[in-house]
Amino acid sequence: MDIIKIIGIGLIALIIIMIIKQYKPEFVVYVSLLAGAMILILIIQKIEPVIELLNNLSNKTSVNNEFLGLLIKITGIAFLTEYAVSVCKDAGETAIANKMDMGGKVIIVSMSVPIIASLLETILKIMP
């Protein structure tokens, strides 16, 4: 089970961080980044079949493939932004983390404008 691998990586990283923090606290961020990257790789491997399934379903329906691509990109941006914000907070850089969080949200809103516009157009067509 992959959750065991994810938890194992996290716990091993935690133990290493606790040991390293006593002697070389500046290396703690590197261990955290490495563990996070390893977990991210495991997660991405599980997301690929889901994306493929969504693409197959959208091809069978009248859903615009462009919108599905946008939704997948928006989800990816949200995950990556959250990961980067967490790393910054772990490193004690809360101010940078907050700005990255805001930047991710602005990018997500700007990318979702075509979907919102299409939704509004559909609502206007339905209304008398």
Is 66's pLDDT higher than 90? no
Interval 56-83 mean pLDDT: 84
Domain boundaries, the chain: 1-48, 64-128
Cα 15 to Cα 32, 40, 42, 110, distances in angstroms: 11, 19, 20, 41
- Residue-wise pLDDT tens digits, 17-31: 999 989 988 888 889
pLDDT of residue 68: 83
Kindly indicate the confidence band of residue 91, based on its pLDDT and cuts at 50, 70 and 90. Answer: confident
- Residue-wise pLDDT tens digits, 96-118: 999 999 999 999 999 999 889 88
Cα 116 to Cα 32, 110, 126, distances in angstroms: 37, 10, 15
- HSE of 68 in the Cβ direction (CA atoms, 13 Å)? 16
Is 78's pLDDT higher than 90? yes
The label of the residue with tokens 């990018």 reads 107
